[in-house]
Structure formats: structure tokens, C-alpha cells
Amino acid sequence: MYILVSIAILVTMVLALVRALLGPTVYDRVLAVNVFGTKTVLLLSVIAFLYGRPDFLDLALAYALINVVGILAVLEFFQDRSRKQQGADND
């Protein structure tokens, strides 16, 4: 059962990767990265159980905590850019 779930997750990772490669907008790519991150957490947890190594769950925990920082940095990046553009337009 764990194997089936991990295969489903792997297939979804491929689909997300295809979306990241196709684009077409940058936001689609960021969304794909986000989906990919969540899928990695799921995959790590499922595989930790598949191998019976539950102490490796620490890794999935690290990702679950840290993944969002990258996406928030993207938000700040775009916010900063649109503010700079507004400033340039006002001048």
C-alpha cells in the first residue's frame, strides 16, 4: 500500500515538474515548486514508513517547516518589484 501511495506521489511529482518546465507564466512555475515541495514531504514520510525508519521523519518535519519561507520570499520579491516600478512611474 505504501508503495502504491509513493508511486502516486512520484507520478504527481513528474506532472508538477512538467508544469514547472512548461510554464507558461512564472507563477505557474512557482506553484509547481510549491506542489513539488509538499509532495516531497509526503514522499519522505511515506518512504520512512515503507522502510520502517520512522526516526527519519525529522527530515519531512524540516521541509514542512521551511518550505513556506521560499514562497514568502517570492511574494516579497514581487511586492518589492511592483513598488519599485510604481516609484519609477511616479518620478
Partner 1 sequence: MIDVVLDVISWVLLALGGACVLIGGIGGLRLPNFYTRIHAASLTDTMATLLIFTGMMLQSGFSLPTMKLFAIMLFLLLTGPTATYALANAALLSGMKPDSGVERDRGASGGVQ
Partner 2 sequence: MIYVFALFLLTLLVITAVAIVRTTNLFVAVMLTSIFSLLMAANFFILDAADVALTEAAVGAGVTTVIFLSALALAGDVEQPRLGSRLLPLGTVGVLAVLIIYATFDKPRLGDPDAPVHQHVAPWYLEKTPEYMDIPNVVTAVLSSFRGYDTLGEVFVVFAACIGVLFILGVRPPGPAAELPAEPSGLRHHLIPQVVGRLLVPFIVLFGLYVQFHGEYGPGGGFQAGAIIATGVILYALLEGEAEALRAVPRSVLLGLVVGGALLFGAVGVVCMLMGGAFLDYSVLAADPVFGQQMGIIVIEAGVGMAVCGALLSIFHAFAAREGRP
Instruction: Name the site residues for partner 1 (rule: CB under 8 A).
Output: 1-2, 4-5, 8-9, 11-16, 18-19, 24-28, 30-32, 34-35, 38-39, 41-42, 45-46, 49, 54-55, 57-58, 60-61, 64-65, 67-68, 71-72, 74-75, 77-79, 81-82
82 binds partner 2 (CB under 8 A): no
Q: What DSSP line would sit under 20-60, residue for residue?
A: HHH-SSHHHHHHHHHHHHHHHHHHHHHHHHHTT-GGGHHHH
> Within positions 9 to 68, which residues make up the interface with partner 2, using CB under 8 A?
10, 13-14, 17, 20-21, 23, 26, 29-30, 32-33, 36-37, 40, 43-44, 47, 55-56, 58-59, 61-63, 65-68
Choose from partner 1, partner 2, none: what does 86 bind? Cβ within 5-8 Å by kind. none
Q: Which of 78, 79, 46, 76 has its CA nearest to residue 60?
A: 46
For residues 22 and 3, what is the distance between their CA atoms, to the nearest angstrom?
29
Provide φ and ψ at 87, rounded to 5°.
-60, -40
